[in-house]
A and B are shown apart, each in its own frame.
Chain A
Amino acid sequence: AAGVIQSPRHLIKEKRETATLKCYPIPRHDTVYWYQQGPGQDPQFLISFYEKMQSDKGSIPDRFSAQQFSDYHSELNMSSLELGDSALYFCASSLTAEAFFGQGTRLTVV
């Protein structure tokens, strides 16, 4: 069965640089979520999209933005990166309530 695809799997950026993370949801899923998991922490909700419209927003820094495109893939754009942005970033998708997670993008800011 198709799963949620995230790219890249690993990313190393320097402070103040910009990063773009991509997410391809499971086909026919209408909702996409982004989560951030810091070292030793649980995943925290950032933002979600339903049918390409932003549906909910969590603790997402103003330096971050996201969108969902006409083909339903989503991108998380992160600017002015800080050391504290180093984390595992998950994308998830759902059709009903159950969410399915991608393998994550591990971002390291140096």
Chain B
Amino acid sequence: GIQVEQSPPDLILQEGANSTLRCNFSDSVNNLQWFHQNPWGQLINLFYIPSGTKQNGRLSATTVATERYSLLYISSSQTTDSGVYFCAVGGKAAGNKLTFGGGTRVLVKP
């Protein structure tokens, strides 16, 4: 099956800092999603981005499908950005199910 690796595993930021999270995957995908899991366990959809670039407020994401990686950018981080960020991919051979990476645990300090 598809392998998904996220880096870094942990990130500590000062409020207001910018950061980049990376997701590498091992095969062609037809689905790539970024999620934020908040401290209460909710998985919140950030981006559906199998290719290209999208922006939503202080967050943006870029997926380069031919090179099998995606990046999530957080700008001007806030304490509410704390939590775990997951990248999840779905491959053409895998139907529509998602394979998750190990996540990046982000802590934003005031």
Contact = CB atoms under 8 A, between A and B. Distances in A.
Majority-rule SS of A interface residues = strand
Contacts of B86: 42-43
Given A97-B90, A106-B41, A56 B97 contact: yes
A11 to B, nearest CB: 14
Contacts of A31: 96
Contacts of A88: 41
Interface residues of A, number: 24
A42 B103 contact: yes
Interface residues on chain B, size class = 20 to 34
A94 B43 contact: no
Interface string B17-54: 00000000000001101010000011101001010000
Nearest to A98: B48
Contacts of A100: 45
B96 A99 contact: yes
B45 to A, nearest CB: 6
B102 A42 contact: yes
A25 interface: no
A80 interface: no
B56 to A, nearest CB: 14
Nearest to B95: A56
B101 interface: yes
B35 A101 contact: yes
Q: Which 7 A-B pairs have the closest CB atoms?
A: A42-B100, A97-B31, A98-B48, A101-B43, A45-B97, A56-B95, A43-B100
